[in-house]
Amino acid sequence: MTETSTSQTAFAPPTAFTPPTRFAVPGRIAVSSGTATVWQTATLTEIRRETPHAATFRLAVPAWAGHLPGQHLMLRLTAQDGYTAQRHYSIASAPDDSGHIELTLDHVAGGEVSGWFHTVAEPGDEVEVRGPLSGFFAWPGDRPALLIGAGSGVVPLMSMVRHHRARGLAVPLRLLVSARGPEELIYAREYGTETTPVFTRSAPAGVPVGRLTAAHLAPLLAERPTGGWEAYVCGSNGFAEHASRLLVEAGQPVDRIRIERFG
């Protein structure tokens, strides 16, 4: 999820909302009826630096009724003169983090929303959120998941990794994440044995440098878990097309590749 580049604007706190009712998705995660149309007030409680250009923003949303890993939301800022700016952002946190959600945003050059978050926002500030939205890219933890992301495309995939860990799920999950170098690897401190990093411009000594290739995918696809992989690809248009093409050429069924792209 990304944004256009425009001038920065001073934004005001949002108005109040009426909490939506809850219902449970059978065998999955509790979500809310009507949340796609209801704006809720979210209060910024914490800012964590991830890379020189990306940071995680933790928001308290008391009536947030849950989401599926991989879903996104709409965020709205309102200026003092009534001007509003809205952006779609993937949710980085696991669904079990009750009453809170986390967003990890790149600082887009000239971006009015990401620019506000990175240069103006501080704990206590309020924004509005609406969601969760879309179930196409969601992974509720019920099938083996092969996750492939580049740059900030790892954000919705990290929600899946965190969900897998929080629930202690036995279903196989693997993550291939591409970054320009170690300093640009979002969530680097959190990765474990499920993760394989791919560095395209610089890497630690002894680690190859280069674009994602079939050789990176081969050992993971060779695992062939029961039921096969459900592949989730997220990144720029170019990366999404490249990674999905590699998957198809390696034999991954087209109908078991889910793609979310930005740019």
pLDDT in tens, the chain (263 residues): 545 333 344 555 444 333 333 333 434 444 555 667 899 999 999 999 999 999 999 999 999 989 999 999 999 999 889 999 999 999 999 998 889 999 999 999 999 999 999 999 999 999 999 999 999 999 999 999 999 999 999 999 999 999 999 999 999 999 999 999 999 999 999 999 999 999 999 999 999 999 999 999 999 999 999 999 999 999 999 999 999 999 999 999 999 999 999 86
Domain containing residue 183: CATH number: 3.40.50.80
The number of distinct structural domains making up the chain is: 2
> Measured between alpha carbons, how far is residue 14 from residues 21, 100, 181 in Å?
21, 17, 38
233 and 243 in contact (C-beta within 8 Å)? yes
Residue-number span of the structural domain to which 165 is assigned: 145-262
Query: Cis ω on the peptide bond leading into residue 132 (within 30° of 0)?
Result: yes
Asked whether residue 119 falls in the same domain as residue 51, the answer is: yes
Asked whether residue 98 falls in the same domain as residue 161, the answer is: no
Whole-prediction pTM value? 0.89
Asked whether residue 23 falls in the same domain as residue 111, the answer is: yes
Specify the 3-state DSSP secondary structure of 156.
helix
Boundary of a domain, candidates 132, 162, 195: 132
47 and 104 in contact (C-beta within 8 Å)? no
Non-local (6+) Cβ contacts of 17 within 8 A are 38, 39, 40, 41, 63, 128
d(CA 86, CA 119): 18
